[in-house]
Amino acid sequence: MEFVRGHRPALLATVSPEGVPNVAPKGSLTVLDDERLVYADLVEGRTSRNIRARPEVAVVVMDRNGRGYQIKGRGSRDTTGTAYTYLCEAAPALRIPLPPPSAVMVIEVDEVSPLGAPVKGHG
């Protein structure tokens, strides 16, 4: 979880109801607690629509050397609860100027897998 707090942006993958994949950078993604991540939903665009229809997501957080984690889970929307309050209060510490989000997206973490550094010459 400390690694997630220290590396931005994260890449969030979703799938539309029609099966079309989408990847979006999420600069506000951070840790809510030991089992959940959270990020600001500023525009309620494609990623939000995908999560509402198909909540399964994958998140990749990595450093400049390609080391990091893939996190799989399920997303949901929070407009007034604990997650929303937490992210609004944490935004200044993220050093990202965020307007008040219309909602925050909460990711319930199911699985965490480490990413290794890429091997030179192999893809």
Domain coverage including residue 56: 2-115
pLDDT of 26 > 90? The answer is: yes
Does 120 reside within a domain?
A: no
Per residue in 59-90, pLDDT (tens digit) is 999 998 889 999 999 999 987 788 888 887 77
Does 19 reside within a domain?
A: yes
Is the overall model pTM greater than 0.75, yes or no?
Answer: yes
- 99 confidence band (pLDDT: 50, 70, 90): confident
Does 121 reside within a domain?
A: no
Does 82 reside within a domain?
A: yes
Does 21 reside within a domain?
A: yes
Give me the DSSP letters along 62-84: E-TTS-EEEEEEEEEEESSSHHH
Pairing of strands 36-41, 56-62: unpaired
Does 47 reside within a domain?
A: yes
Contact between 44 and 102 under an 8 Å Cβ cutoff? The reply is yes
Give the CA distances from residue 42 to residues 27, 64, 65, 89, in Å, rounded to whole numbers and listed in that order.
Answer: 11, 26, 29, 16
CATH number of the domain enclosing 49: 2.30.110.10
Number of domains in the chain: 1
Q: What's the burial of 92, exposed, middle or buried (CB within 10 Å: 0-12/13-18/19+)?
A: exposed
